Chains A and B, each alone.
Chain A
Amino acid sequence: MELVMAIVIGVLTSCGVLLVLRAHTFAVVLGLTMLSYAVNLFIFASGGLTAGKGAVLGVTDIYADPLPQALVLTAIVIGFAMTAFLVILAIRARAELGNDHVDGHSGSRQQQESRF
């Protein structure tokens, strides 16, 4: 289980970093979302990975650490709010700056490159 978890977190993180580096707002929003999924899984795993144990006292003899579950809930909620804000900001930037590059370059990327 640890190996699967580690691979999933690693793949999500690398996809997230790659997308963030694309530097176009839509790709960056997707990348940050993937990063936050990776982070959420990571927090979830921080209490130790166990199977078949309850998070509430008295249900099973041995119980899982409930705190990372509370932390990850908080992180998910905050992540949703921030992503929602970022989407609105990205749409506004697209409207005001005329394109979807995070630096607000005018023209497409090819034009940018040919200029140099």
Chain B
Amino acid sequence: MQHAVIFPILVPLITGALLLLPPLQASVNKRRALGGLGLLLLLLSACYGLWQSAGGVQNFYLLGNWPAPFGIVLLQDKVSAIFVLLSTVLACCCWLYSLAGEDERGAYFQPLLQFLLMGIHGAFLTADLFNLFVFFEVLLISSYGLLLHGGGKGRTKAALHYVLLNLLGSALFLLALALLYAMLGSLNMQDMALRISSLAPQQVLIVKAAAGLLLLVFGLKAALLPLHFWLPAAYANASASVAAMFAVMTKVGVYCVMRVFGSLFGDNAAELAGFGRDLLWIAGLATMLLAAVGVVAAQHLKLLVAYLVLLSAGSLLATLALGHTGAVAAVLYYSLHSTLVAAALFLLADLIAAQRGTVQDRLVAGRPLQQAWPLGVLFVIAALAVVGMPPLSGFVAKIWLMQAATDLHSRIALWSVLLFCSLLVLIALTRAGSTLFWRVKAQAVTAQRADAVQFAAVFLLLLASPLLVLFGEPVMQFCVEAATQLQFLPNVRAVGGP
């Protein structure tokens, strides 16, 4: 099954293309069934990929069978397998949630979701920098469509900012790629890493400039401090299942920093070793502080959750800046936890908003919820997981992040910022929960009760949190192995072979 590596890209491509054909455009149920079938196949191939990579081999896939440094290479190792499985699980839950009617509020939800997955998985699997750009564009153009799903003024405005910023980001990405190609003569990541380790002195500055541009682009995707302005508006305005799916998008940026900077500017990179770490460290910590303030200041629940996504992106990048293997492993575990829980909170915010009449999810006294009990219990579980209370995955993830800071200075900075932010999040979520569920006036409106599939989607996402703790040992072991594998550079020239 050497072709299994490319399945996570091919399956959503074929499913998405089939979904656009006329026979399926006529019937809602057929569209949903085919979308679900595609996701099921995708889940199977993601699990197979994880199982395959668990053996410790890095699987290369030569597109068109061109030998390695010349053609495009896909690389499936433990890190990419983890992220592919994460986005697939998330997509399944979002798809399930959207079945309650959200997918039909605008055209093309199902195919766009498939194309988004194709782009995300391509970005996770590719080992070629230009190919990474192409998959970025695939995931971006689908995300533009998904962001506008359902229509409305707020969405149009948020989408305009999101699209413009990302187009500028793409231009910068291309500049960086052209600079790197001009200096190194290769776009294969492993090959580039080899060439960076033996750069001529006059080339170092130009490669450094290109690396700075790359950091800017990935920082824009991951919403690092001065580049984060698009995130809160975009996520808070998107429809619920789209916002939940977007929870993995900042992780694409984090993954690219991890992969590209880990392999290109890792410890072997001579003069450029560890480039960007100082900047990431400071910007990451500042992002966390700003996001925590945003969480406290948010006036409605969706915006609050959007700032929580920003907070997790900040903590991931700051920890990544520590640079050693343990930090990367902690980042992997924290990504799993924060993506799934943030997605669950986006879905919950939508369920809560639907039952509160005209005040929606604004944090003011409103009508009592019709299904206060189940929603309240789910909200408490999600909040405890986000804050990092003991029985759930947030606790383990945050402890591990804190342990990743080994020397005194980074420990003082990371611990104080992380704990202070967690305190602010605790206060904000307590206030939000008590306002939404307890400060009631007037009668409950006979709103539409939440659908069973919506509850199932939220429940499945939240189930991940205790599962990550119950199977903590193997998961953490896997993360450590994945982080170790990331440092190890295979010899690409040996891989291809004519």
- Seen from chain A, the residues whose Cβ lies within 8 Å of a Cβ on chain B are 20, 25, 28, 32, 35-36, 39-40, 42-43, 45-48, 67-68, 71, 74-75, 78, 81-82, 85-86, 89-90, 92-93, 96-97, 102-104
Which residues of chain B from 167 to 206 have a CB within 8 Å of any chain A CB? 167-168, 170-171, 174-175, 177-179, 181-182, 187
B141 touches A85 (CB 8 A): yes
Shortest C-beta distance, A1 to chain B (Å), equals 15
Max chain A C-beta neighbours (<10 A), residue from B161, B168, B179: B168
Partner of B163, one of A43, A68, A71, A86: A86
Residues of B within 8 A of A97 (CB): 153, 156-157
Q: Assuming the A-B contacts A86-B164, A102-B161, are A39 and B174 also in contact, with contact meaning beta carbons closer than 8 angstroms in the complex? A: yes
Shortest C-beta distance, B425 to chain A (Å), equals 29
Residues of A within 8 A of B160 (CB): 25, 89-90, 93, 102, 104
B156 touches A93 (CB 8 A): yes
Bound: A104/B157 CA distance, A: 7
Residue B421, interface by CB 8 Å: no
**Size band of the interface chain B makes with A:** 20 to 34
Residues of B within 8 A of A78 (CB): 134, 137, 170
A20 touches B168 (CB 8 A): yes
4 additional A-B pairs beyond A32-B167, A85-B144, beta carbons within 8 Å, are: A42-B178, A45-B182, A85-B163, A86-B164
Residues of B within 8 A of A104 (CB): 153, 157, 160
Main secondary structure of the interface of B (DSSP, over half): helix
Nearest CB in chain B to that of A44: its residue:
B178
B179 touches A96 (CB 8 A): no
A96 touches B156 (CB 8 A): yes
B181 touches A67 (CB 8 A): yes
Residue B275, interface by CB 8 Å: no
Question: What are 18 sample pairs from A and B whose C-beta atoms fall under 8 A apart?
Answer: A20-B168, A28-B164, A36-B171, A39-B174, A42-B174, A45-B182, A47-B182, A71-B177, A78-B137, A82-B167, A85-B144, A89-B159, A89-B160, A89-B163, A93-B156, A96-B156, A102-B161, A104-B157
Residues of A within 8 A of B170 (CB): 78, 82
Bound: A86/B51 CA distance, A: 41
B171 touches A32 (CB 8 A): yes
Nearest CB in chain B to that of A103: its residue:
B157
Shortest C-beta distance, A12 to chain B (Å), equals 11
A39 touches B171 (CB 8 A): yes
A46 touches B179 (CB 8 A): yes
Nearest CB in chain A to that of B180: its residue:
A46
Shortest C-beta distance, B237 to chain A (Å), equals 12
Nearest CB in chain A to that of B161: its residue:
A102
Nearest CB in chain B to that of A79: its residue:
B170
Max chain A C-beta neighbours (<10 A), residue from B137, B160, B181, B187: B160
Residue B130, interface by CB 8 Å: yes
Bound: A97/B430 CA distance, A: 36
